Chains A and B, each alone.
Chain A
């Protein structure tokens, strides 16, 4: 890399906000790339995203939902790399398209869970008093729930489907984020620069959104990455039980479930999508561990 640019990025005394932000992003990237586990995780997730984006091109002209009953339950071959399922659909193609469903769920859950957790946690931590007591009690109650069973009950009541699976998972996944955001907020709220902006006349909302939330973001993101594997496994579990994406959509958990009855004779139907779930969860776990090492060396 250009010597001058590196120096500009690594500068101890950034001249502008943009330089400071780019500098910290650069330092984070360098730290992740120099950590082999985190790099592996990053590569796996990048491959997942590419798979989802280019699924129609990688599918070699095959459809994930079109049935070919004449070639049902065919073993892996040159034509069907991972074999075919009970309706003659190519498992390689369905696994590709399944990446889209997994990615959608992961994105939607993050988009729902992080703001809820941040809002509850920062409000409780900054306002204190009875707001804190009430919000944290609610958080504790949700934290004490069995997650899968509760998500199951929600999904059952709302009806099966991806959107409802996302709602069910989000409703049970937000409490840890509220806890983290609160503990960060309590520390930040005591610092001098907050006192300074308050004295300059900043409103409560301005302090919360412009000063506290941005500082809580990094620990929330680290935790989100660490939780992502759990979210994927819960989503796959709901799919396995038939409460996630509905047929004929290709969803990894549901694909494993479809292979259940033929596991003893046609092992590839259930095995391949399960391996996909495993690799993606592993990717998020590796990246999460790495991010934690980078941002919070104490905890590892």
Chain B
């Protein structure tokens, strides 16, 4: 930005600020739309790549040539690819994800039914990750090269290297099989199922509303192991990032200045450096939350947790492409949404990036 620009920004700052905000909102919407177009284009191409014949899936292999051709045209398969993509996009936008072969329900209503289970798992996991990861990361950054730093490094290295499905199985073996501290797979014991009315789909909340504390406790004992394992991954990532942000801030001169003025070391860490790492930290937490919503695929399979991940994998083994692609679009949309939302937060809270 040149000197002249700077002066003009100062004179009619309010008008410019509004225009700037509008421009930023427009570019946000544009990039959201573009990324969504890309995502749907990829899922569309996947659906064309698959070896499952969509016509045969409807008419069956005993159908006559005539019926086959009729359905072929009715499905729009004689149209050019780009027209087919347009039609697909239009159906998606009007909320039509097709019908699941496996459940004979519209895919959208299936997705809405299973999503709360994944949401519950990912939310508790993120709470665990933030509650432990952030303080651990701050401690490691402030005590760089000392034992807290080494502990966080080892915990992080382990988290980046261990397969989640294996950790889940070992967790079940130790805490359920041997120690009997937690309940096994699923969301509830069989005899507790379908007792609470489903209001939100999140069992912990539903049970609390009904005052069914026995069910609440049972749901919690089912939830804590998968959520703890996912929380561990979230913790490893959050702690590692917090540490590097903290080291970056503590090397700045304002920290030295605060210390010279008589601020204690931990006072400088928490009151001066910590507020400055909050913004990038929000982004990191958001990304980790979004990736938990997808990373739950394997965890849900291991724990037979009836969420989005289990739904997608089940559909996958029954050649239920509508359900697989619907799930992929939903996960992708959530992922893209959180990604862009974090980008936006970053730009709002960090003045240096406002003009970027």
Contact = CB atoms under 8 A, between A and B. Distances in A.
Contact of A146 (B50, B294, B302, B325): B294
Interface string B17-58: 000000000000001001100110011001101110000000
A8 interface: no
Contact of B166 (A138, A158, A278, A282): A278
Interface residues of A, number: 45
B250 interface: no
A229 B161 contact: yes
Interface in A191-248: 229-230, 233, 236-237, 240-243
Label chain A's interface by main secondary structure: helix
Contacts of A156: 50, 316, 321, 324
Contact of B177 (A157, A256, A264): A264
A156 B321 CA distance: 8
A279 to B, nearest CB: 8
A59 to B, nearest CB: 23
Contacts of A264: 172-173, 176-177
B327 interface: yes
A146 B173 contact: no
B97 interface: no
Interface in A262-299: 263-264, 267, 270-271, 274, 277-278, 281-282, 285-286
A137 interface: yes
A144 interface: yes
Interface in B159-198: 160-166, 169-170, 172-173, 176-177
Instruction: Give the contact-size bracket for chain B.
Output: 35 or more
Contacts of B164: 233, 237
Contact of A149 (B162, B166, B312, B321): B312
B292 to A, nearest CB: 11
Given A137-B34, A259-B169, A236 B163 contact: yes
Given A146-B294, A256-B163, A277-B163, A152 B316 contact: yes
Contacts of A241: 297-298, 301, 313, 316
A159 B160 contact: no
A120 to B, nearest CB: 15
Contacts of A233: 161, 163-164
B46 A157 contact: yes
Most buried by A among B46, B293, B295: B46
B121 to A, nearest CB: 15
Contact of B172 (A263, A278, A282): A263
Most buried by A among B49, B161, B162, B166: B166
Contact of B302 (A154, A260, A267): A260
Contacts of A153: 43, 46, 324-325, 328
B132 interface: no
Nearest to B327: A149
A125 B282 CA distance: 31
A150 B42 contact: yes
Contacts of B47: 157
B216 interface: no
B190 to A, nearest CB: 18
A267 B336 CA distance: 39
B279 to A, nearest CB: 20
Contacts of A267: 173
Given A145-B332, A152-B312, A281 B302 contact: no
A243 B35 CA distance: 27
Most buried by A among B177, B316, B332: B316
Contacts of A282: 157-158, 161
Contacts of B327: 149
A141 interface: yes
A274 B339 contact: no
Contacts of A281: 160-163
A77 B59 CA distance: 55
Interface string B105-133: 00000000000000000000000000000
B218 interface: no
A152 B302 contact: no
In order of increasing CB-CB distance, the 10 nearest A-B pairs are: A274-B166, A141-B38, A146-B294, A281-B161, A157-B50, A282-B161, A264-B177, A156-B316, A157-B46, A146-B335
Interface of B: 31, 34-35, 38-39, 42-43, 46-47, 49-51, 157-158, 160-166, 169-170, 172-173, 176-177, 290-291, 293-295, 297-298, 301-302, 312-313, 316-317, 321, 324-325, 327-328, 331-332, 335-336, 339-340
8 contacts: A144-B332, A145-B39, A145-B42, A145-B332, A146-B294, A149-B331, A154-B49, A281-B161
